Structure 1
Amino acid sequence: MDEEGHEGVGEQEPLESKRYLRYLQKLREKSFMQVTIWTAALLVGCAAVLFARLITASQALFFSLFHGHPYLMTAATPLLFVAATLIVHKFGPEARGSGIPQVLEAIDRAHGDDKQEPPWHSPLVSLRTAVVKVISSCVGIIAGASIGREGPTVQISASVFAFFGRMTRRVLPQVDFQTFLTAGAAAGVAAAFNAPLAGIAFALEEVTEGAFGRFREMVMLAVILSGIAAMAIAGNYLYFGHPAVTLTPNLLVPETLIFGVVGGIMGGAFARLLAFPELFGLPPQPWKRALYCGIICAAVGLLTDGVSAGSGYEVTRSFLESSSIEQWPVGLGIAKFVTTVISYLSGMAGGIFSPCLSIGAGFGFTVAKLLHLQNFKVCGLLGMVGFFSGAIQAPLTAVIIIMEMTDEHTLIIPFLLAAYLSRRIGKVFMPVPLYRFLASKNRKG
């Protein structure tokens, strides 16, 4: 009996030892993954700040040169457009445009695990592509192009995470590369806008839209209608109070409807123009196409005293912080619309996130000025939400970005309603969301 008992104990000891070793192995793998993600995320934050400062310096250089020598800078703009485009064409074609469609394509490839071109070796999210992205974007900004840094930041961020994903696969071959790319894209949005929740919303709406996309509209509509009913009865209040903030006295229904409709129409038209560049009949040669686009942007820039160039951040912020709309140039929203479309079609690197917000604010300020609306700042913010949602068809991302950047949480119901309307109208122009459409178009060649 004792011998059998000792044998049983002897069998249990190796079994317990194996379980303990497996536990230690899993713990080591989990710790290694966490340290890798933390390191990549910290580097992305640093890279986003550095890139933002490079873009700011490039934009300051453009304005300095333009205001000092306007005609000389106007003449140089088409040549700089050609330079920015050829840098992409020669050294990294995957760096063209915003960069978000390329990231979505890389994530789709990682999901399919393409054996012919493994996603972890894809040039869509390589460090070489990230470097080309930075250089071309800076040259484009110096040229006076209407481009932003947020889309490029997403591709740069995904490239950094992809690099760490490749390194991780050497130690943990079973690692999910799609997770690295998704985390990188979300981190890029969060770092670019200093809006962490927007990064999460972007990952849900654009990157993993499958299941979320199916119930998004139902959830939004339920939230909007219940919120309107509650606010109509109890007013716009904060649950625990916030004495430093003046709450919106009404639901802003007329303004919200106006900018939901205007944003949907203009945003949808904007997306369709970017999706189908053949509508413009531009020449196929990269240098010639960039030259033509540069000439158009230079002419518009000269007419607007250079204000149509760059991301539009400075002029938008200045009017959001001003006390009057009287000095707002009525045609600036349209001018920004034109130069952003043309800059994107040139073939250089450059995003459309911040130009979309500036265009939307421009339409908001213009409507407020023409209709003599007192709350022009609210109109500018509603214009941002409406145009961005109509163009990109990511309504929650639009709402959260504006709320996090402006701290206007009391306007959440008007924001949601404008975003919902503009997305519904935008889908008439572009049934498939712009970034998804461009990613699919890139995949088909």
Structure 2
Amino acid sequence: MWRRRAAIFGGAIVVGLAAILFARLADAASDLFNDVASKAGGLPLLLTPAGFATIAWLTQRLAPAAGGSGIPQIIAAKADPERATDQLASARTAITKVVLTVAALACGASVGREGPTVQVGATVMAYAHRLLRVPVRASVLVAGAAAGVAAAFNTPLAGVAFAIEELAAAYEQRMTLLVMTAVLIAGMVSLGLAGDYIYFGLVGQTLSLRATLVIAPVAGVAGGVSGALFSRAMLWLSRSGARRLSRGRPIAFAAVCGLLVAAIGTATGLTWGTGYGAARSALAGADAPLWFGPAKFLATLATAAAGLPGGIFAPTLATGAGLGNVIHVLFPAEPTGAVVLLGMVAYFAGVVRAPLTSVIIIAETTGSRGLMMPLLAAALIAEFAASLISRERLYHGLAQRYGTAAQTEWNAKFPGDREH
């Protein structure tokens, strides 16, 4: 019992420290690229494609399981947690994930650090249990992943909600204490080092009941449909689309994807990296261009098609902010920040199909407690609209790829073992 508790406490502390370090490296990489892009406008047309090709090659060579978001890998790893550290949650995969995600941000890729932090958090928690000779169960991976969400966004409630909605579809009550303990400790470590901050800044605006009854359905349908289209495109790319488009030349294809991202970024100047700056400006009421949302949608999809390590949480929230900015044109008399938030929560819910997590993340990252009911209405409508277009949930669909790959590799190593 004491070893189990030590593993939980120790693992959660390390998750919080790792999340802070990862965040600072990622921010530094984004700042470096933005500085280079602003001083040499045409350089990204060379740097980004070359960076995409190099990162795609390194991912395939060093740790194929480090590609993509990181959340699907942990969902797949739950099927056989004792073997998770062999590949999907191995130290090699986690280190490669961090380094190459930072490299992707340094060359302008439209990725976030939140999904990778989930994979790193689960990996850290698994190794903490192995170090203390405690069995690694699915709940251990879920707790580490939830702690990663909490530390990445400074959103403890979102970490718990994410564990329930996304990582533990068949949620077990006995997992509650483990998840909440890990989230609490990782969140306190993050809070102690990074301070008490609100990720997107405080949004204190509200909407009247009358405005909510009109805007929430519009945002919900628009966000659900566009989010489901992104989800379907991602699933198609992961299963056969990218292979068909690359025609057996994945590295060259990654370079082409990088060129597309560079062209969009050079033309707009806003779609590089996580999109955090543009999203925050839209929430503050700045006159953001109406094409930002579609441009960020394409840049994120092209980055994912290249197979680079990196999450879609932050880029998805940025795309949603762009959608909310478009919706605000239809309702110019309403507070800009409030309408943008409805677009963000609706698009995010449409992509990940986790409305509770979507609402809590938006509420905690913007301090918009006064908009809880409008946010929830938009998220629920978005989830329903998305389910009509894409029945399969994105992360669970992507996880199938890693489950199959892991099983194939195990069978190749141990052809006589068919127990799992």
Same fold (TM over 0.5): yes
- Does 2:113 correspond to 1:149? yes
Matching residue's letter, 2:279: T
Tell me what 2:194 maps to. none
Corresponding residue number in structure 1 for 2:279: 316
Task: Find the aligned partners of 2:386 and 2:334 in 1 and give their Cα distance.
Answer: 28
Counterpart Cα distance in 2 of 1:105 and 1:290 = 25
The 8 Å contact of residues 195 and 405 in structure 1, kept in 2 or not, is answered as: yes
1:65 aligns with 2:26: no
- Equivalence for 2:60: 89
Determine if contact 1:83/1:139 at 8 Å carries over to the other structure: no
> What letter is aligned with 1:147?
V
Instruction: Kindly indicate whether the alpha-carbon contact (under 8 Å) linking 1:202 and 1:397 is maintained by their aligned counterparts in 2.
Output: yes
What amino acid does structure 1 have at the position aligned with 2:115? G
Quote how far apart the aligned CAs of 1:321 are.
2.4
1:438 and 1:413 mapped to 2: Cα distance? 31
TM alignment of 1:293-312, pairs within 5 A: 293-305=257-269, 307-312=270-275
Q: Equivalents in 1 of 2:234, 2:302: separation in Å?
A: 9
Unpaired runs of 5+ residues, structure 1, are: 1-29, 111-117, 213-244
Relative to the length of structure 1, the TM-score reads: 0.80
Q: 2:126 is matched with which residue: 137, 141, 162? A: 162
Q: Give the Cα–Cα distance (whole angstroms) in 1 for the partners of residues 299 and 231 of structure 2.
A: 14
The CA distance in 1 between the partners of 2:109 and 2:341, in whole Å, is 24
Pick from 256, 273, 289 the counterpart of residue 292 of structure 1.
256
1:52-96: per-residue Cα shift (whole Å, max 9, x none)? 010100001111110111112222210011112112111010000
Cα distance, 1:247 vs structure 2 = 5.7
TM-score, with length taken from structure 2: 0.85
AA in 2 matched with 1:187? A
Give the deviation of 1:414 after TM superposition.
Answer: 1.1
Q: How does 1:42-441 map to 2 (within 5 A)?
A: 42-110=13-81, 118-169=82-133, 172=134, 175-210=135-170, 248-250=207-209, 252-277=212-237, 278-279=240-241, 281-283=244-246, 284-305=248-269, 307-322=270-285, 325=286, 327-369=287-329, 371-441=331-401
Give the distance between the partners of 1:109 and 1:422, measured in 2 at CA. 33
Offset from partner CA, 1:128-183 (integer Å, 9 cap, x none): 111100111111111111100000000011111111122233xx4xx352221111
Q: What is the rounded CA distance, in whole Å, between the counterparts of 1:249 and 1:397 in structure 2? A: 24
- Report the 3-state secondary structure (helix = DSSP H, G, I; strand = E; otherwise coil) of the residue aligned with 2:132: helix
Mapped to 2, the partners of 1:372 and 1:121 lie a distance apart of 52
Distance 2:333 2:267 in 1: 27
- Partners of 1:147 and 1:93 lie apart in 2 by 17
Whether contact under 8 Å (2:69, 2:309) holds in the other structure is: yes
Q: Secondary structure at the match of 1:291?
A: helix
* 1:37 aligns to 2:43 (yes or no): no
SS in 2 for 1:297: helix
After superposition, give the CA deviation of every residue in 1:5-30 in whole Å (9 maximum; x if it has no partner): xxxxxxxxxxxxxxxxxxxxxxxxx2
Tell me how far 1:426 sits from its aligned partner: 1.0
2: CA distance, partners of 1:401 / 1:205? 13
CA distance in 2, matches of 1:329, 1:279: 31
Distance 2:282 2:351 in 1: 23
The unaligned stretches of length 5 or more in structure 2 are: 173-203, 406-420
TM-align CA RMSD: 1.8
Matched position secondary structure for 1:255: helix
Q: 1:328 touches 1:366 (CA, 8 Å); kept in 2?
A: no
Q: Does the C-alpha gap of structure 1 residues 254 and 62 become closer, same or farther in structure 2, counting only changes over 3 Å?
A: same
Contact map agreement 1:308 1:339 (CA 8 A) in 2: yes
For the residues of structure 1 that align with 2:205 and 2:386, how far apart are their CA atoms?
33
Paired letter, 2:208: P
Aligned partner of residue 307 in structure 2, secondary structure: coil
Aligned to 1:220: none
Which residue does the alignment assign to 2:402? 442
Q: Distance in 1 between matches of 2:99 and 2:147?
A: 21
Give distance in 2, aligned partners of 1:179 and 1:77.
Answer: 39
Alpha carbons 1:248, 1:411 under 8 Å: kept: yes
Alpha-carbon distance in 2 for matches of 1:246, 1:329? 22
Distance 1:206 1:72, change over 3 A: same
Structure 1 residue 246: Cα displacement: 7.1
The Cα of 1:427 is off from its aligned counterpart by 1.5
In structure 2, distance between residues paired with 1:330 and 1:319: 11
Q: Once the two structures are aligned, what percentage of the paired residues are identical?
A: 37
Q: Number of matched residues?
A: 370
Rate the CA distance shift 1:211–1:44 in 2: closer, same or farther, 3 A: closer
Is the contact made by 2:327 and 2:343 (CA closer than 8 Å) also made in structure 1? no
